[in-house]
């Protein structure tokens, strides 16, 4: 499984890609594969304030419903509305087309406590 | 198709199953005969019948006719009568008989559904529940006329208290999850009585989904505690998370991975040291009936699932009962009214409990279900209930021991009343879902799947199955393992013997069509 090195990862299988002051987030391909076919995505309102650890979205598959957690504080600036009609985009391409939320991160917030791609890969190996 | 349905009633051995597959395709080919049959069976009542058909001949009414406009406000009147199906009695009987034959039940087939304790419901339960003194009474009748049922309810609550090792029980909650909610409300009321409002409720990551759901409904935050690699609670993680804002730890013991957590006394001590309460999800009481009592291992509060432990019917959303047992310090908060025995020996209701959380269910709970639980307890007696636990545990460990060479188990034995296997057929691409579907072809209900750990099957035979049935199940499981080696597609495309095969769950979820329209 390919794990992009340009971003950071949480233990709850979200990815965060920080560009300037905006973090794009989604769930990892591993999470998407484990959930199997995703049937519904509940996204936050644009403009919503989020704090680290908040459950800000929900992904529903034929197998399970999972909460999606923010790992960085900030304000939601965009959500991937294509997912409303095509939640399968997450299964098809979790790291790109299946992105979920863009967050304008609060100043001096960082992704330092998240895992690198290498750490996440070994995290997956150890938890499997 | 009808002939295929009857084959489910026994576990089919490999050869006959293969024949079954052929027959299905032969039937499909001979569409001339099979298709009309199938169409008739799959019709809804609304699609059957024809105008004017009727199941009963009613005599002319002797009540004077009233113009409907004079009795009902005009805006509530419709122009035409509702489009109800019109059928003769025989058509209706055949319709429901045909549906009944399609139902998969413990009365016909082995049902090793882990976590749900699908034990046989003895017929005596039904016989007693249908006795007129229990079935033909009304809660508004005078107490003096209800002494029989009141005595039964009083006795049942004392038996359940004895089994729990806790002093008092409420019979009001209408289901296990309702029992959880009731218990959490009691715990909240207890903390509030001490001037505290505690926000957190902890539960291990192997907990039933109802645990965090009950916390949320109760306005509390659910927090997950890690399990160790042997399936037990990670005490370090518990120590790190339990604090003065923790209302309770909800624990299932034996837990959903089928292991009894021997550190339960340590867990109780850790929880109590912070003033939090230890709550037991009683889903798995079947394994410890009469062997150990939750009150003796530090539990403050617990619920029973009468359908799992005391052989009342699994409702499919229908009536259940989730009695809650509490320790001495929680008694003042129990729901009212409580059934009591008065000094003169009569039975009645008592609502004098000022700190009570109030009523959680109309009238006195699901009385018909409680009668069945009472009957089960009385027909087995103390020794019989202990024997339930012994046989349930023995049966599970027997299956585990016979299956372990082909079906790897992540947690070491001994197990309680159920066990988990994570089948390793990755090279063939066969998943736990495929195995579950293939079991259907052999007339066995699939076990619980993919929970509480990824890619697992959770198997619980219960005490009600004979050695012969257990051996047949082992043979089927080993046969399927061989099939995976020989012909994985046979397993991947299962079931082959059912009127419907794999449903399109994705389409069903994404584009649900839940209402029939003419």
| B485 and B516 share one domain | yes
Task: For residue B254, say if its preceding peptide bond is cis, omega within 30 degrees of 0.
Answer: yes
The shortest C-alpha distance from A20 to chain B (Å) reads 34
Within a domain: A86: yes
Last residue of a domain, one of B347, B379, B411: B379
| Residues B266-304 as b or e (16 or more Cβ within 10 Å = b) | ebbebbeeeebbbbbbbbbbbbbbbeebbbebbbbbbbb
**Three-state secondary-structure class, residue B251:** strand
Task: Tell me: pLDDT of B21 over 60.
Answer: no
Contacts of A122 (CB under 8 A, 6+ apart): none
Give the B-side interface with A, CB within 8 Å.
450, 454, 505-506, 509-510
Q: Would you state the pLDDT for residue B318? A: 66
CATH number of the domain residue B436 falls in: 3.90.1150.10
- How many CB atoms are closer than 10 A to CB B42? 12
d(CA A56, CA A50): 7
Q: What is the pLDDT of residues B113-156, one digit of tens each?
A: 998 899 999 999 999 999 999 999 999 999 999 999 999 999 99
In this prediction, residues B377-403 reach a mean pLDDT of 98
Average pLDDT over residues B429-458: 94
The per-residue pLDDT of chain B, averaged, comes to 90
For residue A108, give how far its alpha carbon lies from the nearest alpha carbon of chain B (Å): 28
What would the mean pLDDT of B385-408 be, rounded to a whole number? 98
Between CA A16 and CA B368 the distance in angstroms is 54
Evaluate whether residue B398 is within a structural domain: no
Average pLDDT in the B20-28 region? Answer: 36
A63 lies within 8 A of chain B by CB: yes
Mean pLDDT, residues B459-479: 97
Are B133 and B111 contained in the same domain? no
Residue of A nearest to B507 (CA): A39
* Cβ contact A39–B506 (<8 Å): yes
Residue B209's contacts (CB-CB under 8 Å, 6 or more residues apart) are: none
- Per residue in A13-62, pLDDT tens? 999 999 999 999 999 999 999 898 999 999 999 999 999 999 999 999 98
* Residue B296 DSSP label: G
Q: In Å, how far is B500's CA from the nearest CA of chain A? A: 18
Q: State how far residue A61 is from chain B, nearest Cα, in angstroms.
A: 8
H helix runs in B165-263, sequence order:
176-193, 210-217, 235-241
Model ipTM value: 0.76
Chain B contact for A42, CB < 8 A?
no
Distance CA A92, CA A95 (A): 9
Which residues from chain A sit within 8 angstroms of residue B505, using beta carbons? 37, 62
Task: Read off the tokens for B405.
Answer: 């060479």
* B370 Cα to chain A: minimum distance (Å): 33
- Return the pLDDT at B508: 87
Residues with Cβ within 8 Å of B183's Cβ and at least 6 positions away in sequence, in order, are: B279, B301, B302, B303, B324, B326
Q: Is residue A126 part of a domain?
A: no
Quote the domain boundaries for residue B244: 125-379
Range 78-117 of A in CB contact (< 8 A) with B: 87
Confidence check: pLDDT of B176 > 60: yes
Please report whether residue A117 resides in a domain: no
Residues of chain A with Cβ-Cβ distance to B448 below 8 Å are none
pLDDT digits (tens, 9 = 90+) for B285-340: 999 999 999 999 999 999 999 999 999 998 765 689 999 999 999 999 999 999 99
- Predicted pLDDT of residue B161: 98
Q: Tell me what pLDDT residue B47 has.
A: 86
pLDDT tens-digit map of A80-100: 999 999 999 999 999 999 999
Q: Is residue A115 situated within a structural domain?
A: no
pLDDT higher than 50, residue B40: no
pLDDT of residue B211: 95
Flag if A62 and B454 touch (Cβ within 8 Å). Answer: no
Residue B41: what pLDDT? Answer: 57
CA closest to B410 among chain A residues: A128
User: Between A and B, how many CB-CB pairs are < 8 A?
Assistant: 15
Q: Which percentage of chain B shows pLDDT scores above 70?
A: 91
Tens digit of pLDDT for each residue in A103-125? 999 988 888 889 999 999 999 99
Flag whether pLDDT at B23 surpasses 60.
no
Q: What is the pLDDT of residues B232-285, one digit of tens each?
A: 999 999 999 999 999 999 999 999 999 999 999 999 999 999 999 999 999 999
Count of CB atoms situated within 10 Å of the CB of B318 = 11
Looking at residue B464, what is its pLDDT?
Answer: 96
pLDDT at A59: 95
Our count of domains for chain B comes to 2
Question: Residue B325 falls within a domain, yes or no?
Answer: yes
B369, part of any domain? yes
- Total number of domains constituting chain A: 1
| Choice among B6-10, B68-72, B305-309, B490-494 with the minimum mean pLDDT | B6-10
CA dist B373 to B155, B288, B336, B377, B503, Å? 11, 17, 21, 6, 36
Q: Which domain holds residue A69?
A: 8-107
């Amino acid at each position: 499984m390919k794990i992009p090195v340009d971003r950071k990862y949480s233990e709850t299988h979200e990815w965060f890609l920080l560009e300037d002051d905006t973090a794009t987030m989604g769930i990892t391909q591993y999470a998407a594969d484990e959930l199997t076919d995703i049937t519904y995505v509940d996204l936050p309102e644009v403009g919503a304030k989020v704090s680290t650890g908040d459950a800000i979205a929900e992904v529903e598959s034929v197998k399970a419903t999972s909460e999606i957690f923010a790992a960085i504080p900030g304000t939601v600036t965009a959500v991937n509305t294509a997912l409303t009609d095509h939640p399968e985009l997450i299964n098809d391409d979790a790291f790109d087309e299946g992105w979920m939320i863009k967050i304008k991160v609060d100043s001096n917030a960082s992704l330092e406590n998240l895992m690198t791609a290498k750490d996440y890969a070994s995290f997956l190996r150890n938890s499997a | 198709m009808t002939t295929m349905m009857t084959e489910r009633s026994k576990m089919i051995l490999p050869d006959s199953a293969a024949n079954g597959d052929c027959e299905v395709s032969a039937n499909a080919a001979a569409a001339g005969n099979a298709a009309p049959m199938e169409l008739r069976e799959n019709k809804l009542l609304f699609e059957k019948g024809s105008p004017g058909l009727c199941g009963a001949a009613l005599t002319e009414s002797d009540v004077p006719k009233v113009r409907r406009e004079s009795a009902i406000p005009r805006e509530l009147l419709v122009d035409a009568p509702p489009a109800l199906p019109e059928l003769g009695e025989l058509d209706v009987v055949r319709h429901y008989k045909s549906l009944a034959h399609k139902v998969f039940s413990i009365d016909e087939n082995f049902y090793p559904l882990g976590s749900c304790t699908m034990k046989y419901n003895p017929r005596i339960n039904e016989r007693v529940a249908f006795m007129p003194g229990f079935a033909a009474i009304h809660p508004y009748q005078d107490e003096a006329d209800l002494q029989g049922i009141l005595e039964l309810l009083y006795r049942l609550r004392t038996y359940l208290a004895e089994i729990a090792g806790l002093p008092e029980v409420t019979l009001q909650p209408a289901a296990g999850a309702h029992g959880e909610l009731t218990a959490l409300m009691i715990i909240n009321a207890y903390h509030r009585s001490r001037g505290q409002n505690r926000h957190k409720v902890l539960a291990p990551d192997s907990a039933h989904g109802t645990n965090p759901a009950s916390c949320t409904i109760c306005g509390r935050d659910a927090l997950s505690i890690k399990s160790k690699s042997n399936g037990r609670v990670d005490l370090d993680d518990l120590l790190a998370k339990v604090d003065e804002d923790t209302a309770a730890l909800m624990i299932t013991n034996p837990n959903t991975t089928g292991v009894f957590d021997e550190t339960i006394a340590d867990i109780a001590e850790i929880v109590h040291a912070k003033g939090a309460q230890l709550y037991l999800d009683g889903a798995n009481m079947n394994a410890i009936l009469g062997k150990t009592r939750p009150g003796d291992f530090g539990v403050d509060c617990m619920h029973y699932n009468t359908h799992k432990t005391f052989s009342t019917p699994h409702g499919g959303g229908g009536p259940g009962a989730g009695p809650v047992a509490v320790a001495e310090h929680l008694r003042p908060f129990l729901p009212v009214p409580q059934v009591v025995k008065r000094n003169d020996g009569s039975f009645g209701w008592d609502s004098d409990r000022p700190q009570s959380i109030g009523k959680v269910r109309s009238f006195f709970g699901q009385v018909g279900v409680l009668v069945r639980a009472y009957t089960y307890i009385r027909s087995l007696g103390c020794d019989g209930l202990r024997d339930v636990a012994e046989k349930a545990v023995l049966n599970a460990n027997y299956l585990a021991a016979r299956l372990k060479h082909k079906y790897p188990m992540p947690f070491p034995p001994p197990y309680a009343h159920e066990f988990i296997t994570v089948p390793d057929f990755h090279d063939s691409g066969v998943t736990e879902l495929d195995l579950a579907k293939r079991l259907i072809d052999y007339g066995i209900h699939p076990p619980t799947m993919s929970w509480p750990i990824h890619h697992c099957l959770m198997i619980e035979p219960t005490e009600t199955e004979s050695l012969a049935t257990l051996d047949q199940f082992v043979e089927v499981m080993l046969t399927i393992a061989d099939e995976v080696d020989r012909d994985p597609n046979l397993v991947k495309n299962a079931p082959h013997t059912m009127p419907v095969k794999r449903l399109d769950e994705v389409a069903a979820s994404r584009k649900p069509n839940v209402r029939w329209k003419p």
